[in-house]
């Protein structure tokens, strides 16, 4: 009887994942300052809400685009220097953003915090952890991606206190120092991953495989990227505008920040479930299930303005959407070899983060035009339905492939 191949997973795998989780729990606080301070910053800069919201959007675009370059660079020169560079750039970006002008805010968030900062932190670390695991990769990726939600639980209320007491500029500058002091010493604990390609020989060979899910490998990747873009647009509406939305309907900013923390806290708890599910049924099927839950929850935001009801809907939204983005990364590792992860995973992340960016800006633009957030939630539902159609098509092809394999075995 053939013995199954030895797993690369070990205690060290979970140590590596835990270290990365701690790093991301800090770095992902940086874009939340604009979310918490959206209304205050809009009034201070005498501009429209969509203008300030665009700064948060640029963080997502920059993080996604930077991840493509930084994922490749980390395989060339090593993980630690790339993440250290991103940490310093994030801190500088927060300081630059305190200048008070819109352009300083955009450069600080889009270029420094996004492209050079979190772009050099998130994608390289996600790829790094994916190479420590083969059997429980979905669980591990879900765990480290939960750093975004730990940040969402811990930091919004802290930021609100800092903004109320000292102003948004001081809160940003101080957090820049926190990022450097807490992350840089942690990097010495990161060890090389067992499944990493040899440095300097990075590259894929997609052209050598005839098809992926019966399509050209890059065509399948393109559909996955399109799906990621569409599902992240509705994801951005409550994630970027919940505090401001609450303030508009008479809920205090402190309670709005607490509601955002509840949303992200529920996302953290449920993400572990979605990760385990991805290990059992695969990344794409998990995306489909999570996206269906997100569609229902985003529609529910249009049904009430009651504070208790919105707390419940925020919790439900967090429970539903949390497994989607990590499952895309699991799907890429399910379908493509490890050597291609350094560019395929960041490309999907860029697509998703571009959707987050567009959704954040578009929601603000719709608010500025209509004066309330109802149209933004409606647009979110429509984009989510497009996502379900694309992912459903890919899942159907997986089912067809599995049936064909089963028939060949029986024959």
* Both tokens assigned to 190: 């990161």
Give dist(CA 111, CA 253) in Å, integer.
Answer: 29
Q: Are 212 and 220 in contact (CB under 8 A)?
A: yes
pLDDT digits (tens, 9 = 90+) for 325-371: 889 988 998 888 877 888 898 899 899 888 987 888 888 889 888 88
Asked if pLDDT for residue 373 goes beyond 60, the answer is yes
Sort residue 193 into left (φ over 0), alpha (ψ -120 to 50) or beta. beta
* Both tokens assigned to 117: 């900062």
pLDDT of residue 398: 83
pLDDT digits (tens, 9 = 90+) for 146-193: 887 788 778 888 998 999 889 989 999 999 999 999 999 999 999 988
pTM value is 0.76
CA torsion sign, 406 to 402 to 336 to 282? negative
Q: Are 147 and 25 in contact (CB under 8 A)?
A: yes
Q: What are phi and psi of 215, to 5 degrees?
A: -120, 165
b/e 12-26 (16+ beta carbons within 10 angstroms → b): ebbebbebbbbbbbb
Tokens 């024959």 locate to: 411
Q: Are 222 and 347 in contact (CB under 8 A)?
A: no
Query: Which uninterrupted H or E stretch holds 13?
Result: helix 11-27
Give dist(CA 110, CA 103) in Å, integer.
Answer: 10
pLDDT of residue 206: 42
* Both tokens assigned to 388: 């379900």
User: Taking the CA atoms of the chain, what radius of gyration do you get in angstroms?
Assistant: 21
Tokens 């020169």 locate to: 77
Q: How far is CA 142 from the centre of its chain?
A: 11
Give dist(CA 27, CA 87) in Å, integer.
Answer: 8
Domains of the chain: 11-193+211-410 (1.20.1250.20)
By C-alpha distance, which of 75, 87, 76 is closest to 121?
87
What is the mean predicted confidence (pLDDT) over 183-207? 69
Sort residue 390 into left (φ over 0), alpha (ψ -120 to 50) or beta. alpha
β-pair partners for 215: 212
| Helix/strand/coil for 134 | coil
Q: Are 344 and 332 in contact (CB under 8 A)?
A: yes
Give dist(CA 152, CA 291) in Å, integer.
Answer: 21
Give dist(CA 283, CA 329) in Å, integer.
Answer: 7
Asked if pLDDT for residue 66 goes beyond 60, the answer is yes
Count the neighbouring beta carbons within 10 Å of the beta carbon of residue 282: 20
Q: Tell me, what DSSP letter sits at residue 186? A: G
Q: How far is CA 216 from the centre of its chain?
A: 27
Reported as a pLDDT band with limits 50, 70 and 90, residue 136 is: confident
β-pair partners for 212: 215
pLDDT of residue 188: 93
Asked if pLDDT for residue 408 goes beyond 70, the answer is no
DSSP letter for each residue of 89-116: HHHHHHHHGGGSSHHHHHIIIIIIIIII
pLDDT of residue 380: 92
């Amino acid at each position: 009887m053939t013995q199954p191949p030895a797993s690369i997973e070990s205690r060290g795998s979970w140590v590596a994942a835990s270290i990365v989780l701690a790093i991301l729990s800090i770095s992902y606080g940086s874009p939340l300052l604009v979310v918490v301070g959206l209304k205050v910053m809009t009034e201070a800069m005498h501009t429209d809400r969509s203008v300030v919201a665009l700064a948060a959007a640029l963080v997502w675009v920059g993080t996604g685009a930077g991840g493509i370059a930084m994922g490749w660079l980390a395989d060339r020169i090593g993980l630690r220097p790339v993440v250290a560079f991103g940490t310093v750039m994030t801190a500088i970006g927060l300081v630059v953003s305190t200048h008070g002008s819109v352009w300083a805010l955009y450069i600080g968030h889009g270029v420094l915090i996004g492209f050079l900062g979190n772009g050099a932190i998130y994608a390289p670390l996600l790829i790094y952890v994916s190479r420590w695991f083969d059997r429980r990769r979905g669980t591990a990726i879900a765990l480290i991606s939960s750093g975004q939600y730990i940040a969402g639980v811990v930091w919004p209320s802290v930021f609100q206190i800092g903004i109320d007491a000292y102003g948004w500029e001081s809160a940003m500058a101080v957090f820049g120092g926190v990022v450097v002091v807490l992350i840089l010493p942690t990097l010495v604990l990161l060890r090389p991953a067992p499944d990493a390609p040899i440095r300097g020989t990075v590259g894929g060979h997609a052209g050598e495989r005839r098809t992926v899910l019966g399509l050209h490998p890059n065509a399948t990747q393109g559909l996955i990227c399109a799906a990621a873009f569409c599902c992240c647009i509705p994801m951005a509406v409550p994630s970027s505008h919940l505090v401001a939305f609450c303030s508009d309907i008479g809920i205090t900013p402190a309670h709005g920040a607490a509601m955002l923390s509840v949303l992200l806290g529920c996302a953290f708890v449920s993400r572990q479930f979605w990760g385990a599910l991805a290990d059992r049924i695969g990344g794409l099927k998990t995306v489909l299930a999570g996206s269906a839950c997100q569609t229902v929850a985003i529609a529910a935001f249009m049904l009430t303005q009651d504070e208790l009801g919105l707390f419940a809907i925020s919790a439900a939204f967090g429970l539903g959407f949390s497994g989607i983005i990590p499952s895309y990364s699991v799907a890429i590792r399910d379908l493509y070899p490890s050597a291609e992860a350094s560019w395929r995973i960041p490309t999907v992340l860029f697509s998703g983060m571009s959707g987050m960016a567009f959704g954040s800006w578009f929601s603000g633009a719709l608010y500025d035009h209509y004066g309330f957030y109802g149209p933004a939630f409606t647009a979110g539902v429509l984009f989510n339905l497009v996502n379900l159609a694309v992912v459903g098509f890919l899942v159907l092809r997986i089912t067809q492939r599995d049936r064909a394999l089963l028939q060949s075995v029986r024959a």
